[in-house]
Amino acid sequence: MTVTNRRAGARARILLSSLAALAASLPFAAPAAAARPELTPAAATPGEVWRGALRISQGCDGAPTRLIRITMPEGVVAVQPKARKGWLTETVWAPYRTPVEVHGRKVAEGVRAIVWRGDTLPDHMYDEFGFAFELLPGAAPAGGRLYFPVRQECETAVLDWTQVPAAGQDPSALTHPAPAITVASAGATPLPAGHDHHRPPAQAAQAAGLSVSGAWTRATPAGAKVAGAYVAIANRGPKPDVLTGGRFDVAGRVEVHDMTMTGGVMRMRRLENGLEIPAGGAVELRPGGLHLMLMDLKRPLKQGETIRGVLTFRDAGDIEVAMPVEAAGAPAPGKAPAAAGHGGGHHH
């Protein structure tokens, strides 16, 4: 051991003692914050898979950790722990409060908690316990928080990280906060400049900071009961709004749907809680993704006609919209159907 090392050791001891003094004067400051279990990444997008980990960075008052249990909030489905060596990983199945729809399938129960046990995590080391889940659309509004209560068992003590801040409360004021993630907005993509001017202004409707533009749908074969419809919605207002559906004379009802590719399979589902249009943001409904579904069609839609109706928003109410009917299978307004002529891939 060299002189330099000994001096480094002395500096480390001084640092430790000043940290101890700081901890004594501010019992809930830096040391408590550093010890909190955290989820990383700290945000999840509705309709998408979150892959991350619960990070445990300290034991219980110096004792090593022997068990970790994390509980999933409502709206978190398709939970899958990451394989890990040394720890027994157990999934706890239970019914959802209400059955949920995952990729168009009604599911009554699923993994509601994960327990890791059978090894020890020393107090001075951190570890990450990996898992994945899917966040249901509508589980929480964009910007909202979802809390995952954690139980941490050590050789001599148990810590329950279950506190949730009250409305307006600073989360850092809690001594044992539940780890949380923030809900990102789904399907929100900024519109390119001038996007909502590529159609005549007569087709753009305006209300409460919302503008609806570029609406279109496709001709349907005789006997077809559904048609996908597409539109761009921009929100220049200060508050988010939610597209909940609409009304068209030609359709029995109008739903908001999402379509995703999962393992090479196109899946469609209804967004039960509507589609959020973030404040200052825009959402584009287009083939292969978010779309309106005109259900129970009363007659076929004919290429070249224009159908009229309203889109309904939670706050702004009804906004009138006119939809030109493009060719069956057209991939975009004014575009010829793909050579395969497969109906645009919209299956129900």
Query: Which residues lie near Cu ion (CB under 5 A)?
Result: 257, 268, 293
Give the Å distances, CA to CA, from 136 to 61, 84, 184, 307, 347.
Answer: 37, 26, 12, 32, 22
Minimum CB separation of residue 62 from Cu ion in Å reads 56
Minimum CB separation of residue 347 from Cu ion in Å reads 9
**Nearest CB to Cu ion, comparing residues 39 and 285:** 285
**Nearest CB to Cu ion, comparing residues 232 and 293:** 293
Q: Which residue is nearest to Cu ion (CB)?
A: 257
In this structure, what token pair is assigned to residue 70?
């994390």
Contacts of 167 (CB under 8 A, 6+ apart): none
> Which residue has tokens 């019992």?
27
**Nearest CB to Cu ion, comparing residues 114 and 285:** 285
Phi, psi (degrees; rounded to nearest 5) at 343: 80, 15
Minimum CB separation of residue 329 from Cu ion in Å reads 16
Contacts of 69 (CB under 8 A, 6+ apart): 113, 114, 115, 116, 150, 151, 153
Minimum CB separation of residue 137 from Cu ion in Å reads 13
What whole-number distance in Å separates Cα of residue 124 and Cα of residue 64? 8
Q: Of 231, 239, 185, 230, which is closest to residue 208 (Cα–Cα)?
A: 239
What whole-number distance in Å separates Cα of residue 78 and Cα of residue 133? 5
* Bridge partner residues of 233 (DSSP): 212, 283
Minimum CB separation of residue 312 from Cu ion in Å reads 17
**Nearest CB to Cu ion, comparing residues 257 and 286:** 257
Q: Is 130 exposed, middle or buried (0-12, 13-18, 19+ CB in 10 A)?
A: middle
Q: Indicate the SS3 state at residue 122.
A: coil
Minimum CB separation of residue 326 from Cu ion in Å reads 17
**Nearest CB to Cu ion, comparing residues 137 and 179:** 137
**Nearest CB to Cu ion, comparing residues 208 and 268:** 268
Minimum CB separation of residue 293 from Cu ion in Å reads 4
**Nearest CB to Cu ion, comparing residues 114 and 256:** 256
